[in-house]
Chains A and B, each alone.
Chain A
Amino acid sequence: MDIRRFVFYLNSRPLDPFYIMDRSIIHLNIADFAVAVERVVDRRLQGRPLIVAPDGSARAMVYDMSEEAYQCGVHKNMTLHNARRLCRDALILPPRPDRYERVMQALFKQALPYSPLVEAGDADGHLFVDITGTSRLFGPPIDVAWRLRRQVKADLGLDPIWSVASNKLVAKVATRLVKPTGEYVVGTGDEAGFLSPLPVWLVPGIEQDDLNRLREFNFTRVSQVTSLSLEHLRVPFGSRARFVYETVRGIDPSPVLPVGRQRPVVISDHDFDEDTNTQAVLEGALYRMTEKAGRRLRRQRRAARRIIVALDYSDGLRCVRQSAVKPATANDLMLFKAARKALNLARSRRLRIRHMRLTCDRLIFPPAQMALFPEERRDKEKQDSIVAAIDRIRSRFGQSGIQIGWTLVA
């Protein structure tokens, strides 16, 4: 077979049956996750209005709230002062991100027996489980979803909203519709009809910019947007038109990421003993975190292409900024350069900072390509040998065997 005929054969053969199989995706969504977790820990909190926000700060923001508080008009990112005025009898609890993360892991484990394709949100009580093709083993998808929810309720004391749909997008909208409790099953083929009467802002992926553009046309409902052809959409949306066109029709081919194949990241956290806004202290802590992340990257023989710095201010607001690392590296000094850039971007407020998180992601195996010019190469080699020397000393004399001046300030 000559190559042209072979290529023709490849193009004309039927698609892989697994690829075109109708998918069954379960979405679990624990409404008001932080409040739900706190209520599991302390049963006495049931039924009374709760606000999760860092107390003690004049300009603290609401992190999460219970349905009772929501009914009083409290919403996320409102100042605690205002929230208190709206809901006077609410109990204020401090945010406990570590606790939420632990519960998230427990939730994840509940879903694992049903599928290797389980994707968890970022400690926010969202979980996607792809159970396509398991019906002969576990029964119909709707029954698996119900059992999973029952099991979560029995084992963790949490009552998730659940939905079953053919993709993540529709499953997510479905759970949004039945908040704070309930379930929603969207049949395959019903996706467009299901989304059609809804307001556009309910559809995930349609961002504020898109909404603003649609509002210029006086469009607020999905059905109005679906009346436009792809060519029409190209006028306001340009290259984003296809995404909008498919999203409002409930088309979402994005896979549920398999366990263990979720994006590899290296995360390092730091809690300040006392909330601070001093540049030197922040940078000292950041460097220590960079060293920690760098060492883990080097141990994994990986290099990062992006650094994200997340700052938690003392009023509970979080600010996240990122910086690209070019070329990809695992060298502390180079990583720090990018991390400092992200830190300066994230430090946009004059408030003190309580917690800092450094995330290295878009990890790759380090490029073998060397720098072209001798000076560049020399600098890089010099930095690499410094870091290698520090690593050697530390492996022999411990972490405090050698320190960089920056870290001594903090």
Chain B
Amino acid sequence: MPKDAHTRPTSKYACSIRVGTSGYSYAEWLDAGFYPPGTKPGQMLQLYAQRFSVIELNYTWYQMPRAPAIERMGRLVPPGFHFAAKLTRYLTHEIDADQWRVHAAQYRDGIAPLIQSGQLAAVLVQFPPTFQRTPKNRQYLAALLDELHGLRTAVEFRHASWATDRVYVELERRGTALVSVDAPDLKGLFPRLNIVTSPDLFYIRFHGRNARGWRSGNMQKQFNYDYTEKELRERTEEKIEQMAGQSRNGLLFFNNHVRAQAPGNALAMIRQLAEQGLI
């Protein structure tokens, strides 16, 4: 781990890259040895923050964030530690045509403490594979991004229909980052791209490449994958270096949480990026 994990790193591209994992509170990370034995769930974030400089909050998808809890969380971490927060499922997966604007306002209120303290790295808008590029969904996405105006947002698509130039151009116009997804090569999935649509942010999520488990409906199978050094190196050399040249900030998150493979791969990624002088 580089000593300067919490200070603003300087890369040869003047791009600040942060690497972390999607979520930190996994009981199985205790068994896998990432957290020392006997660690209580309440202590996990502090231990995590000793080794990484950013976290992607997953629970804000399941549960509407509440300001007091978020504020407590923000106080637990050292200065310079950042949070990326996933957008609530009420705005991406379970959209209520009448209520979504209310939910958007609630979400903004919930994460307000992170905005005020300057700890919010980005809001991740992740759509399900069922969210295809239809006129209705396009209109919704435009309205949603208007509603989230002022927040640094990154949009992740899971359906290939969104992989067109018109989408990238529109995201670029809005200054919204397109999430580069590292997932298995399966038909219908959004392809692995390295398109940067915001000069302010590029965002990569590593879900693992477990093609057999991807559509099993079980997270423990879907995200069970261990990236090899070679796979990570290909990614850093071919894609990340180029993306870092086009943006001021980069966020890389590992979502292959099963058996603590995510933090292991994230630490390996930090080592490789450091070797290449990217952080």
Chain A residues with a Cβ under 8 A of chain B? 22, 133, 135-140, 142-143, 145-146, 182-185, 187-190
B residues in contact with A184, CB < 8 Å: 63
A10 to chain B, nearest CB (A): 22
The verdict on A135 contacting B59 (CB below 8 Å), with A187-B42, A188-B40, A189-B41 known, is: no
A399 to B108, CA, bound (A): 69
Indicate if the CB atoms of A183 and B218 lie closer than 8 Å: no
Residue picked from B26, B41, B89, most chain A C-beta under 10 Å: B41
A residues in contact with B27, CB < 8 Å: 133, 135-136, 140
Indicate if the CB atoms of A188 and B64 lie closer than 8 Å: no
The verdict on A135 contacting B63 (CB below 8 Å), with A187-B41, A189-B42 known, is: no
Contact with A along B124-159 (1 / 0, CB 8 A): 000000000000000000000000000000000000
Q: For the complex, would chain B's binding face be called helix, strand, loop or mixed by DSSP majority?
A: helix
A338 to chain B, nearest CB (A): 48
Indicate if the CB atoms of A142 and B219 lie closer than 8 Å: no
Indicate if the CB atoms of A136 and B220 lie closer than 8 Å: yes
B interface residues, tally (CB under 8 Å): 18
Contact with A along B81-92 (1 / 0, CB 8 A): 000000001000
Q: A138-B218, A142-B63, A146-B62 are in contact. List 9 more A-B contacts (CB 8 A).
A: A135-B26, A136-B31, A140-B23, A140-B27, A143-B62, A182-B64, A185-B62, A188-B42, A189-B40
Indicate if the CB atoms of A190 and B42 lie closer than 8 Å: yes
A residues in contact with B41, CB < 8 Å: 22, 187-189
B residues in contact with A137, CB < 8 Å: 220
Indicate if the CB atoms of B63 and A183 lie closer than 8 Å: yes
A residues in contact with B89, CB < 8 Å: 146
The verdict on A142 contacting B220 (CB below 8 Å), with A135-B28, A136-B31, A188-B41 known, is: no
A135 to B220, CA, bound (A): 8
A residues in contact with B23, CB < 8 Å: 140
Chain B residues with a Cβ under 8 A of chain A? 23, 25-28, 31, 40-42, 59, 62-64, 69, 89, 218-220
B26 to chain A, nearest CB (A): 6
B residues in contact with A190, CB < 8 Å: 42, 69
Indicate if the CB atoms of B59 and A142 lie closer than 8 Å: yes
Which single residue of chain A is at the shortest CB-CB distance from B220? A139
How many interface contacts (CB-CB < 8 Å) are there between A and B?
A: 50
Contact of B25 among A133, A140, A182 (CB under 8 A): A140
| Top 3 A-B pairs, shortest CB-CB distance | A189-B42, A139-B219, A188-B41
Which single residue of chain A is at the shortest CB-CB distance from B94? A150
Indicate if the CB atoms of B42 and A185 lie closer than 8 Å: no
B residues in contact with A135, CB < 8 Å: 26-28
A358 to B252, CA, bound (A): 63
The verdict on A142 contacting B218 (CB below 8 Å), with A135-B26, A189-B42 known, is: no
Indicate if the CB atoms of B42 and A138 lie closer than 8 Å: no
Indicate if the CB atoms of B40 and A22 lie closer than 8 Å: yes
A139 to B69, CA, bound (A): 23
B40 to chain A, nearest CB (A): 6
A124 to B263, CA, bound (A): 43
A183 to chain B, nearest CB (A): 5
B165 to chain A, nearest CB (A): 35
20 contacts between A and B (CB under 8 A): A22-B40, A22-B41, A133-B27, A135-B26, A135-B28, A136-B27, A136-B220, A140-B25, A140-B26, A140-B219, A142-B59, A143-B62, A143-B219, A145-B62, A146-B89, A187-B25, A187-B42, A187-B69, A188-B42, A189-B41
A residues in contact with B26, CB < 8 Å: 135, 140
A233 to chain B, nearest CB (A): 26
A residues in contact with B25, CB < 8 Å: 140, 187
B111 to chain A, nearest CB (A): 16
A338 to B35, CA, bound (A): 58
Which single residue of chain A is at the shortest CB-CB distance from B32? A136
A142 to B57, CA, bound (A): 13
A183 to B26, CA, bound (A): 20
A residues in contact with B31, CB < 8 Å: 136
Indicate if the CB atoms of A185 and B59 lie closer than 8 Å: yes
Contact of A139 among B42, B59, B63, B218 (CB under 8 A): B218
B residues in contact with A143, CB < 8 Å: 62, 219
Indicate if the CB atoms of A142 and B62 lie closer than 8 Å: yes
A195 to B246, CA, bound (A): 48
B91 to chain A, nearest CB (A): 15
A184 to B64, CA, bound (A): 8
B residues in contact with A182, CB < 8 Å: 64
A136 to chain B, nearest CB (A): 5
Indicate if the CB atoms of B40 and A183 lie closer than 8 Å: no
Contact of A138 among B40, B59, B220 (CB under 8 A): B220
A residues in contact with B28, CB < 8 Å: 135-136
Residue picked from A140, A183, A188, most chain B C-beta under 10 Å: A140
Which single residue of chain A is at the shortest CB-CB distance from B223? A139
A176 to chain B, nearest CB (A): 16
Contact of A185 among B63, B218, B220 (CB under 8 A): B63
A22 to B69, CA, bound (A): 20
B residues in contact with A145, CB < 8 Å: 62
Residue picked from B42, B59, B63, B219, most chain A C-beta under 10 Å: B63
A203 to chain B, nearest CB (A): 19
Which single residue of chain A is at the shortest CB-CB distance from B222? A139
B residues in contact with A136, CB < 8 Å: 27-28, 31, 220
